[in-house]
Structure 1
């Protein structure tokens, strides 16, 4: 594993350079996402054949990203095959988008197969839909927002800045207590990552927004640009007792900060029924599929 370096905030420039050389839609291929979750997934990277290759390790299982850069894709694959053989680990790639699989199939026809998992597909929306919330299909969302406006006259929206970051962190900690994070490892991990993101927001070029009621932060969201036309929303938290807080922060953030983008990626639902229902209710423009690539003899 010594050829792969652990990802830290110091690697943001080189990661951004290589990730920016290719069009992709998956939320996983963003600098902020890679840096913030590096401890959870033991995320590492290397530059081989002038191509960026990312390694993920979860529960002792290792897999790799699609090589990105200006180098020779086949040479990068051959380097990775040799590395896996040297380390005695099976070759497996993850976060492979359909067009990536097409390129692999062109180089190695019939040698690999891809397995897509609906739970891991990202929901990608038209910005205008999330901004305007108009039309019959958004009638329910509009009702939630109207109820919020009717019952909360003293509300304000503002972007996340250095001056309110500490308040945001305190709000997230309060949300954590209310939602039983101490008994749920995945929730606790996400909260730690979110707090780290708030602390590194400016360094990572991330942006976010908050809603206050009577001066108290009751909802926040944060994410980052991906490519020329898409923004990825990495985090969104609101207090459950405030009806309409989630659709309100969703719309207000897009309205105030994201009008320049064509698409908004709101990440996957992880197979959680309630989360899937909520994400589907916003009617995505498309799903950004991501698959696991294996050799056919491994299947």
Structure 2
């Protein structure tokens, strides 16, 4: 491998042209600006060029620079080189078109992770240049305010010989004013100074805005492939309103007349930067991926996996809070019922399958319930959950298995069909009685009322002592309320600004239904009742699938089945 230098451009350029990549990371100006940090090495082969980055002890590849017909030849070489030199094979900042091309070639060898924090924001050049249209109104207002306050400003191209010291002075002043001067900002300053000192060998444009003879903003841009301009640097006095729109507008008005788009690079996962870039209304994003070599493990979870499993749980189930997550992993999680799919010891997917007792036609059957199915979002749509689920189903062959049916179509190919239904009713409050029963505080009745209620069904879950021991705590953690009505039953509900949502409705007689619901008859909020499909109450009703089973051959609508829990 040879260190990448400025004077290598002429021999590398033909391969950059062959690759014709859209992302800004493939711009030679970008490479040189950040080379002090990434220490890029390269090799030239007959059909391709490869580049290896060395960042803080981690090595990773750029996409190979070649035409698509030689992708396989180049990647095979990169794999071989990584193995020979004993470092993990990674291609970073791979654009979506490259990934879609090589996926069929390497579906059994490579793993593709979406990295949205690296996506490029691409804008319509004329929109940013003219600031016309409704979408640009806020930015146009800032620019007009700038013109009003600074009618005599001057924009000019900067001369790197005569203006170098002035640029350095302004850069140091603006950056030193920031309270949180991060490592990346310091590195950016180094990159800027390298570009400016290398102006004679690199193709880019530099312009500045002067107010009362003092430079208050400067910008560096270069030409990318695909009729695009890349903005490498925008620096300005943040105290001058409208200066940022002005400096970009001036650059676009004075340079690159034939280009149609503007690439403003990525947001690095920073929420404020993301918000700022989205406010300029990108016309498209160049999606990026990180590519790994596959080294998969599927099996039972270990103690070492717990932290990663909890993180994946939180990331995939946004309704879970810190409290509900802690509750689950303290009281209900068991590693022996948890299966994981990992790549090089990094968790990708998890699945938990827990034992439950089901009463089926007067017999207690030991069955299993799948819950907590999740895949890391940046690895979705690559078949990893399918692979893990198939593995687990093989381990539990011939067992009765249930799962929650949020997306029924996903599980039908695995032999699951709808087994249990609920109805969700928007209750007509006007049809409720006006003298409701008063609830009581006797929680000892909960278990008795549930067991009396389920006697009308042929297939239901048996709730053991441990379930009832945790019942009150579970409701508290989930911010659910319990109302117990003597000789009628109980209900569990929570409230939001608009609705009272009842998630469990246990009644002892038909009359109890109206009596218990009448507790809410004077509320101004809507009453949304989720209940078994035997309930008859005035209101708009819709059916929902609550459970699927691998023992049901076709979707089965049966009023004599009842299960109502996630865990």
1:12 equivalent to 2:3? Answer no
1:114 CA displacement: 1.4
Tell me, in whole angstroms, the C-alpha distance in 1 between the residues paired with 2:34 and 2:55: 12
**2:209–2:216: 8 Å Cα contact kept in structure 1?**
yes
Give the corresponding residue for 1:34: 31
Between 1:64-73 and 1:152-161, the stretch displaced more is: 64-73
**1:6–1:38: 8 Å Cα contact kept in structure 2?**
no
1:187 CA displacement: 0.9
Q: Answer with 1 or 2: which has the greater Rg.
A: 2
Moved over 6 A (4+): none
1:266 CA displacement: 0.6
1:120 CA displacement: 0.9
1:135 CA displacement: 1.1
How many residues of Structure 1 are paired with residues of Structure 2 in the alignment?
Answer: 295
Tell me, in whole angstroms, the C-alpha distance in 2 between the residues paired with 1:17 and 1:170: 38
What root-mean-square deviation, in Å, do the aligned CA atoms of Structure 1 and Structure 2 show?
1.7
Give the corresponding residue for 1:136: 134
Structure 1: any 5+ residue segments left out of the alignment?
A: none
Higher normalized strand content (fraction of residues): 2
Between 1:227-236 and 1:105-114, the stretch displaced more is: 105-114
TM-score when scaled to structure 2? 0.50
1:169 CA displacement: 2.3
TM-score when scaled to structure 1? 0.93
CA offsets per residue over residues 114-142 of structure 1, 9 Å max, x none?
11122111111111111111111111001
Give the corresponding residue for 2:61: 64
**2:203–2:222: 8 Å Cα contact kept in structure 1?**
yes
Tell me, in whole angstroms, the C-alpha distance in 1 between the residues paired with 2:286 and 2:91: 17
Structure 2 SS opposite 1:68: coil
**2:36–2:191: 8 Å Cα contact kept in structure 1?**
no
CA offsets per residue over residues 206-231 of structure 1, 9 Å max, x none?
11211110111101110211125111
Tell me, in whole angstroms, the C-alpha distance in 2 between the residues paired with 1:50 and 1:36: 26
1:16 CA displacement: 2.1
**1:127–1:258: 8 Å Cα contact kept in structure 2?**
no
**2:127–2:136: 8 Å Cα contact kept in structure 1?**
no
Structure 1 SS opposite 2:19: coil
Structure 1 SS opposite 2:18: coil
Between 1:214-223 and 1:168-177, the stretch displaced more is: 168-177
Give the corresponding residue for 2:99: 101
Give the alignment of 1:1-299 within 5 angstroms. 4-70=1-67, 72-162=70-160, 163-180=162-179, 183-297=181-295, 299=343
Tell me, in whole angstroms, the C-alpha distance in 1 between the residues paired with 2:78 and 2:167: 42
Tell me, in whole angstroms, the C-alpha distance in 2 between the residues paired with 1:253 and 1:213: 16
Structure 2 SS opposite 1:28: helix
Between 1:153-162 and 1:230-239, the stretch displaced more is: 153-162
Tell me, in whole angstroms, the C-alpha distance in 2 between the residues paired with 1:237 and 1:15: 30
Between 1:256-265 and 1:215-224, the stretch displaced more is: 256-265
1:6 CA displacement: 1.5
1:180 CA displacement: 4.7
Structure 2 SS opposite 1:39: helix
CA offsets per residue over residues 99-126 of structure 1, 9 Å max, x none?
1112212322343231112211111111
1:72 CA displacement: 2.7
